[in-house]
Structure 1
Amino acid sequence: MLHHRISLLALGILASTAALAEDQSTAKGFVEDGHLDLLFRNGYMYRDYKHGRDDKSEWGQAATATFTSGFTQGTVGVGADVFGMYALNLDKNGARAGAPGIDFFKQDSDGNPASDLARAGGAVKARVSNTVIKYGDQMPALPVLSYDNSRLLPETYSGTLITSKEIDGLEINVGRFTSEVRKSAEGHDSGGLKRIDVYGGSYKFTDNFSGALYAQDNEDVARKQYMNLNYVIPMADRESLTFDFNGYKTKLNKDWADEFNSGNRDNTIWSLSAAYNIGVHTFMLAHQRNNGDTGYLYGGYQSGDYIGDGGTTIWLANSYWSDFNGEDERSWQGSYSLDFSEYGVPGLSYTVAYVYGDNIKTEETSNGKEREIFNQLKYVVPSGPAKDLSVKLRGSWVRVSNDARSYNDDGNEVRVFVEYPVNIF
């Protein structure tokens, strides 16, 4: 039934193109509209675990080349996107490697991390009017299938994605993906991913109000729905108040839940934030709440507590190192961000956040607690030969009550990332 719904929706999108805007008419050509970009990334992550757990860290240097073509001229434009990636392990200490949350370099059967990684992929695409269909290796960034690019190399998925923007303010996405490549691996190592269908869209109702509805069907694993509402209230000059609601509802497959999740299947999680922006200052308050007989599951490689739908498929307010997604957990956040441009340092920004969670249900308690202090300092070179080079320093401190350690545990985390994007043409 889901396959028929996706097919009908895709046909409806394509059929509507003749009567609407014809952006394909502006196509200049495969090479003429194309561009080649390089990204150099040096990443280091260190996790200082408590209560006898070994500390973990990984460090590496990566380079990614991406060619994104334009579309050929004509009613139907065709093109191709190609990428090549290489990562070198700068710290091959097997004793410190292997933290699931770092995952720079995959370990072999003896626990030794790879010394380097090389990966390449590509996709073909076609455009009619303002609708694009793309097939091949992709990095989908949808709330129900969101690839992780926060480590050394990104996740990629293989499949088909249709993106339509025929109606002003409306974007519709329909896709099917059948395999994934994990961040730390070279080949398609999906850990059992059979098929994940994604569909939905976002709409800008007014200049200040937008919303989105999406869903996924992860074969033999889960079904998930997502909703977003975002409303911006302009105030005085350079002042605004933004309300942002995000929510997921998940139903795990019974057989999968019986095998990996003690039979627990249902989850609803949502967050509501209010951000006040005045000039270079942003103050935010947020509340997040989790309900059901299991915590919110996402990402990973479809084994154990993971369901293979992308390492950032948690578009919620209180997700930092901890996601505050334990069973029945409630959490509150206060954060502050500062752009230093008005203080003589353009390109420098700082964010600090405090998140407190309680009511966590485990086998030991129904009121476990956790808290996190998050800090991030980032500098982006604004001009000159090193324009757009960025340095990001991030630190998190997580503390969890003793009766909730089966859900999460204490630790300190440090991340240092240096990136340098270069446009060749």
Structure 2
Amino acid sequence: MTHNNQKYVCALLVGGATLTCGLTAQADFFGDSKGELEARNFYFNRDFRQTGARDKAEEWAQGFLLRLQSGYTPGTVGFGLDALGMVGLKLDSGDGTSGTGLLPADLSSGGSQEDYAKLGLTAKMKVSKTELKVGSLFFKDPVINSNDTRLLPQTFRGGLLTSKDLNNFTFTGGHIDRIKANSSTDFTEMSANRIGGTSNDFNFGGGEYQVTPQLALSAHYGQLENVYQQYYGGLVHVLPLGVGQSLKSDLRYASSREDGNFRDLDNKALGSMFTYKVGAQAFGLGYQRMTGSDPFPYITGSDPYLVNFIQIGDFANAKERSWQARYDYDFAALGLPGLTFMTRYVSGDNVERAAGGEGKEWERNMDIGYVIQSGALKNLGVKWRNATVRSNFGNDLDENRLIVSYTLPLW
């Protein structure tokens, strides 16, 4: 445990001891608390299919996530503390097959470490429907998205303000100064994917307005200081079409440029996804287009908020245009609740290749998942994720992920 984490634990214990001074405070702080333990078993296999590439990346690991959330102390201003403890254990990783993102690299052996652990602590304060969190953060926002696609989630360090005091309006804003990658135990500075540049400061803010129960509008701003600025606007509309039928329209637009003295940067990203749902089935069609001289910038290791960001690719190269076709099915309609299926195909072209000519790529995904709905193994989930990627300017990949997870409520 690092020196900083030791200080955080001491602060947590002192804060808890202080709160025991009042019986009512105990009832709110402890009585409204929640705790759960998630066990996550993850097998990852990625085959590299092009000539001259490494053979494969393949690892198997076991993760444990302990989530503790307190309630709030009484009064106009309530205070609370949250904790997230994470442990990852290597089950199998052969010679030359590391690098899956499940485990930290072992620089001495060239493979992966046997185990790793990390602790995230978050202080929180609430006034009415406005909440401030400071410390270790995991959240989703159109301009900055935490990644949870490996054994343990990625987290940020900073402050996050969320307010719902105005009817039908949600405001979010904050400041991030460090990022902790999925397989890392250390906070590091941030960089921009494909763009370069590093910074210790990411500022963001924006809001969502629920115009009607069917229509939501959003606007957000993000700044990776001295690297890039990004403006985002979005619209989500659900049109009822009769019993068991609807059409969802998801429209997104982002404009990005340089910040400070960073090199010239120009990207505009347009995305649209239309999903027709009928009964247990959903049919989706998407289109994404990059314009400008640069790729879409986002914090390295995080998830970009793009309609064609899928299992492996983001289809966000300079001037790239891409199309998506997607199909979902919920087997609850056949008497098998908890069993779901998804498949999608994205094709991209018009990419400017460094070697000249037009770059093209495509990716196909398939997810099959099942979560036990009742009995002694309720909440036990199994998911198989399969992907195929082919490209004339990047890696050709075949990938499989098998994830078994179980969440146990502690109280």
Give the structure-1-normalised TM-score: 0.85
Secondary structure of 2:111's counterpart equals coil
Q: Which residue of 2 aligns with 1:418?
A: 404
Structure 1 residues 294 and 280, CA gap change in structure 2 (3 angstroms): same
Secondary structure of 1:342's counterpart equals helix
Aligned residues: 376
| Alpha-carbon distance in structure 2 between the residues aligned to 1:44 and 1:293 | 38
2:383 paired with 1:392: yes
2:143 paired with 1:137: no
How far residue 318 of structure 1 moved from its aligned partner, in angstroms, is 4.8
| Alpha-carbon distance in structure 1 between the residues aligned to 2:33 and 2:103 | 32
In the TM superposition, what whole-angstrom CA distance separates every residue of 1:336-367 from its partner, at most 9, and x where no partner exists?
Answer: 10000111211101011111111111123352
| Alpha-carbon distance in structure 2 between the residues aligned to 1:247 and 1:151 | 28
| Alpha-carbon distance in structure 2 between the residues aligned to 1:190 and 1:183 | 14
| Alpha-carbon distance in structure 1 between the residues aligned to 2:97 and 2:274 | 39
Q: Which residue of 2 aligns with 1:70?
A: 71
| Alpha-carbon distance in structure 1 between the residues aligned to 2:139 and 2:199 | 16
Unaligned runs of 5+ in 1: 1-26, 258-263, 301-309
Q: Which residue of 2 aligns with 1:9?
A: none
In the TM superposition, what whole-angstrom CA distance separates every residue of 1:241-295 from its partner, at most 9, and x where no partner exists?
Answer: 11101222222347554xxxxxx61111121111000010000111111111111
Letter in 2 for 1:239: Q
Q: Which residue of 2 aligns with 1:186?
A: 185
In the TM superposition, what whole-angstrom CA distance separates every residue of 1:212-240 from its partner, at most 9, and x where no partner exists?
Answer: 11111111221112221001100110100
User: Equivalences for 1:211-226 in 2 at 5 Å?
Assistant: 211-226=217-232
How far residue 409 of structure 1 moved from its aligned partner, in angstroms, is 2.2
Q: Which residue of 2 aligns with 1:41?
A: 40
| Most deviating of 179-188 and 228-237 | 179-188
- Native 8 Å contact 1:359 1:366 kept in 2: no
| Alpha-carbon distance in structure 1 between the residues aligned to 2:260 and 2:135 | 31
How far residue 412 of structure 1 moved from its aligned partner, in angstroms, is 0.7
| Alpha-carbon distance in structure 2 between the residues aligned to 1:131 and 1:347 | 35
Q: Which residue of 2 aligns with 1:12?
A: none
How far residue 94 of structure 1 moved from its aligned partner, in angstroms, is 4.8
Letter in 1 for 2:228: A
Unaligned runs of 5+ in 2: 1-25, 191-197
Q: Which residue of 1 aligns with 2:293?
A: 293
Q: Which residue of 2 aligns with 1:106?
A: 104
- Native 8 Å contact 2:40 2:406 kept in 1: yes
Q: Which residue of 2 aligns with 1:409?
A: 395
Q: Which residue of 2 aligns with 1:202?
A: 208
| Alpha-carbon distance in structure 2 between the residues aligned to 1:249 and 1:113 | 39
- Native 8 Å contact 1:288 1:318 kept in 2: no
Secondary structure of 2:333's counterpart equals helix
Q: Which residue of 2 aligns with 1:269?
A: 269
Letter in 1 for 2:159: T
Moved over 6 A (4+): none
Q: How many percent of aligned residue pairs carry the same amino acid?
A: 31
Structure 1 residues 193 and 381, CA gap change in structure 2 (3 angstroms): farther
The structure with the greater share of residues assigned to strand is 2
Structure 1 residues 156 and 290, CA gap change in structure 2 (3 angstroms): same
- Native 8 Å contact 1:155 1:182 kept in 2: yes
- Native 8 Å contact 1:94 1:113 kept in 2: no
Letter in 2 for 1:105: L
Q: Which residue of 2 aligns with 1:305?
A: none
| Most deviating of 278-287 and 385-394 | 385-394
Q: Which residue of 2 aligns with 1:260?
A: none
| Alpha-carbon distance in structure 1 between the residues aligned to 2:157 and 2:388 | 36
Letter in 2 for 1:186: T
How far residue 200 of structure 1 moved from its aligned partner, in angstroms, is 0.5
- Native 8 Å contact 1:123 1:137 kept in 2: yes
How far residue 419 of structure 1 moved from its aligned partner, in angstroms, is 0.9
2:365 paired with 1:374: yes
| Most deviating of 228-237 and 311-320 | 311-320
- Native 8 Å contact 2:236 2:250 kept in 1: yes
Give the structure-2-normalised TM-score: 0.88
1:324 alignment partner, one of 315, 318, 324: 315
| Alpha-carbon distance in structure 1 between the residues aligned to 2:295 and 2:305 | 12
- Native 8 Å contact 2:308 2:315 kept in 1: no
Letter in 2 for 1:80: L
Secondary structure of 1:126's counterpart equals strand
2:83 paired with 1:90: no
Secondary structure of 2:112's counterpart equals coil
2:374 paired with 1:383: yes
| Alpha-carbon distance in structure 2 between the residues aligned to 1:190 and 1:103 | 18
2:249 paired with 1:251: no
How far residue 91 of structure 1 moved from its aligned partner, in angstroms, is 2.0
